Amino acid sequence: MDVRPLKIPAVKLVTPKRFGDHRGFFEETYNRDQFVTAGINTVFVQDNHSMSSEMGTVRGLHFQAPPSAQAKLVRCGRGRLFDVAVDIRKGSPTFGQWVGEELSFENGRMLLVPAGFAHGFMTLEPDTEIVYKCSDTYAPKTEGAVRWDDPEIGIEWPLKPAEIKISDKDAVALHLSEQESPFTIEDAK
């Protein structure tokens, strides 16, 4: 397993070893001992699986506030997606900045998104599946969202806005500057 910190070091790109032959491949997508050895001590308690039938579907930017904050380990089960994490920890030197990576069935890469980050993705192929682990269970009363096209964040989504499909709920999310983040950099220490 290869673990590489991104431009915002708290977010990590994880690439499991894939063993393949003429029949296909095998890979361990999660092994607690290997993650701990790599310095990732997050305990995951819930797995989620989502499918988006249309290319250009954007889901996010979502988060859960304390006491139900979630870290996520995200991978693509089928297709291709652009996965994004936005630092929303007040006091962080990277507050309001984003990182993004293409995750696909082919490349097998995963993104580790810590608590204190808003998370979202854009599908780059039809029938794309996202599979992810969460460090806390779903708690609707603590969920929040940041607008996917917040100009102050400036995410460089791979597809043009005219090609994007978004839920009514995500379309009315507030910009980051219009809300008080429930996270501080001290929470992450």
In sequence order, the 6+-apart residues with CB closer than 8 A to the CB of 68 are: 136, 137, 139, 142
| 119 is a catalytic site residue | no
Find out whether 107 and 144 touch, Cβ atoms under 8 Å. Answer: no
| Cis peptide leading into residue 126 (ω within 30°) | no
Half-sphere exposure of 115 (CA within 13 A, CB side): 26
Catalytic residue among 30, 49, 62, 175: 62
The rounded Cα 39 to chain-centroid distance in angstroms is 19
**Entry field: residues in the chain:** 189
Q: Is 22 a catalytic residue?
A: no
Which of the following is catalytic: 30, 49, 119, 132? 132
Give the tokens for residue 101. Answer: 């990576």
Q: What amino acid positions are annotated as catalytic residues? A: 62, 132
